[in-house]
A and B are shown apart, each in its own frame.
Chain A
């Protein structure tokens, strides 16, 4: 087994374990913390795949903004009472069953995945020569200009929605 494969194996095992920890913690704050560790692992995996800009964005946006927002809301709501009650809904076996069936389904079809030609123009060397930020910026501002603008509109809607919802009286 080569060194990259060993690295990947570590990431696979620990990320699966961390995901399980995230969904099974009783205290939401602990859940969020395991999620933080999981995000750091995901960012490292992105670095492994030569996506350094996405790794930085993953930590700045997900860990730095979204998870802090979650923590903020958990702390704002007083949840001490909820911690003593049962964690799962009555129909949790159905959820577990759907999860397992989907997992088996994925495992069966994943073996058939193969990389076929034609490959794109952004090979690792090409991206490294130009810089990852520059190449992703070029694609984002030329081919994907319209979706990019729509994304900004989504953010605007989210800002207005959050402000309206946070008002005292709706």
Chain B
């Protein structure tokens, strides 16, 4: 039997790698991917909790997280394309003008 803490540890490590990618990378697309990575690591811990607590609440939450992630990806990438049309760069440190 795999202990619950192993799953949480894996999820925590993945979450921290996601945070590192989110804070350190310049490419906006990779930053988006890092957000997806963090959401997925949280999903793993939720499913693990739901399995060990024998309740489906965690899995229902995962369902909602996937919904929100899909919406977020669609809107975020649409904003990115709209920005890229005005100013062809996707480096976050070059996106420093309020007026587009």
Determine whether the beta carbon of B78 is less than 8 Å from that of A161: yes
CA distance A155 to B66 in the complex (A): 11
For the complex of A and B, the 10 pairs showing the least CB-CB separation, nearest first, are: A95-B23, A120-B55, A23-B21, A106-B12, A158-B71, A95-B24, A99-B20, A165-B78, A92-B24, A103-B16
Determine whether the beta carbon of B93 is less than 8 Å from that of A106: no
Please tell me the size bucket of the interface on A: 35 or more
- Residues of chain A within 8 A of B60, CB atoms compared: 136, 139-140, 143-144, 147
Determine whether the beta carbon of B25 is less than 8 Å from that of A87: yes
Which residues 42-73 in B have Cβ within 8 Å of A in the complex? 43-44, 47-48, 50-57, 59-60, 62-64, 66-73
A-B contact pairs, 26 of them (CB 8 A): A11-B10, A12-B9, A16-B14, A19-B13, A19-B14, A54-B59, A58-B66, A62-B66, A69-B73, A69-B77, A73-B81, A77-B88, A89-B25, A89-B26, A91-B23, A92-B24, A95-B19, A95-B20, A115-B4, A139-B57, A147-B64, A151-B67, A154-B67, A155-B67, A158-B75, A166-B78
Most B Cβ at <10 Å: residue of A39, A90, A162 = A162
CA distance A170 to B15 in the complex (A): 35
Determine whether the beta carbon of B47 is less than 8 Å from that of A46: yes
- Residues of chain A within 8 A of B17, CB atoms compared: 16, 19-20, 22-23, 99
Say how far A80's CB is from chain B's closest CB, in angstroms. 12
CA distance A146 to B87 in the complex (A): 41
Number of A-B residue pairs, CB cutoff 8 Å, is 241
- Partner-A contacts on B (CB < 8 A): 1-2, 4-10, 12-27, 29-30, 32-34, 36-37, 40-41, 43-44, 47-48, 50-57, 59-60, 62-64, 66-75, 77-82, 84, 88-93
Of B29, B47, B80, B93, the contact of A49 (CB 8 Å cutoff): B47
Determine whether the beta carbon of A23 is less than 8 Å from that of B52: no
Determine whether the beta carbon of A120 is less than 8 Å from that of B24: no
Determine whether the beta carbon of B81 is less than 8 Å from that of A70: no
Determine whether the beta carbon of B4 is less than 8 Å from that of A113: yes
Determine whether the beta carbon of B59 is less than 8 Å from that of A115: no
- Residues of chain B within 8 A of A161, CB atoms compared: 74-75, 78
- Residues of chain B within 8 A of A79, CB atoms compared: 90
